[in-house]
């Protein structure tokens, strides 16, 4: 089976700029940032997409949003604002099939996102 890129980052086998980690999640800088601050928050567990989430993942989902709050406070964008995004499957623009929450900030976002 092909190795999952984000599982390898979570295990420390592939380097990343880690911004936060706890027992449930890891947050690291996106390698191709789309805003001055672009962080990805991933679960340690391999969950491919939003479609695969179940009630058993409650603690992981909560941890992802607690990480959003901490990271946006630490980067001082909590009050100016930021965007969180889950891309899902082909039409959602998902490239990496290990659940990840994009946190983008440090510039004014536009809508619709395209
Ligand atoms: P998505 O299109 O929602 O699946 O997002 C995948 C994201 O992962 C993109 O924003 C990529 O820039 C980012 N990415 C891909 N490889 C790496 C890597 N090795 N380290 C950090 N971010 C990555
Ligand atoms: Zn994975």
Q: Which ligand is nearest to the CA of 104?
A: 1
Active site residue 100: yes
Nearest atom (ligand 1) to Cα of 92: 3
- Sequence ranges of the domains in the chain: 5-105
Class level of CATH domain 5-105 = alpha beta
Omega prior to 112 cis, within 30 of 0: yes
Mean pLDDT by 10 residues, the chain (114 residues): 93 98 98 98 98 98 98 98 98 98 98 91
Is the CA virtual torsion 68, 69, 75, 79 positive or negative? Answer: positive
At 19 the pLDDT is 98
The phi and psi torsions of 52 (rounded to 5 degrees) equal -95, 0
Select which of 46, 79, 100, 102 is catalytic: 100
Whether 32 is in the pocket of ligand 1, judged by its Cβ within 6 Å, is yes
């Amino acid at each position: 089976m092909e190795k999952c890129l984000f599982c390898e980052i979570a295990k420390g086998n592939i380097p990343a700029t880690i911004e936060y980690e706890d027992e449930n999640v890891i947050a690291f800088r996106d390698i191709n940032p789309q805003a001055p601050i672009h962080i990805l928050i991933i679960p340690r567990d391999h969950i491919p997409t939003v479609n695969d989430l179940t009630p058993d993942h409650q603690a992981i989902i909560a941890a992802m949003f607690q990480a959003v709050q901490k990271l946006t406070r630490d980067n001082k964008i909590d009050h100016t604002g930021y965007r969180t995004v889950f891309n899902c499957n082909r039409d959602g623009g998902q490239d990496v099939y290990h659940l990840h929450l994009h946190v983008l900030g440090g510039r004014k976002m536009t809508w619709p996102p395209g």
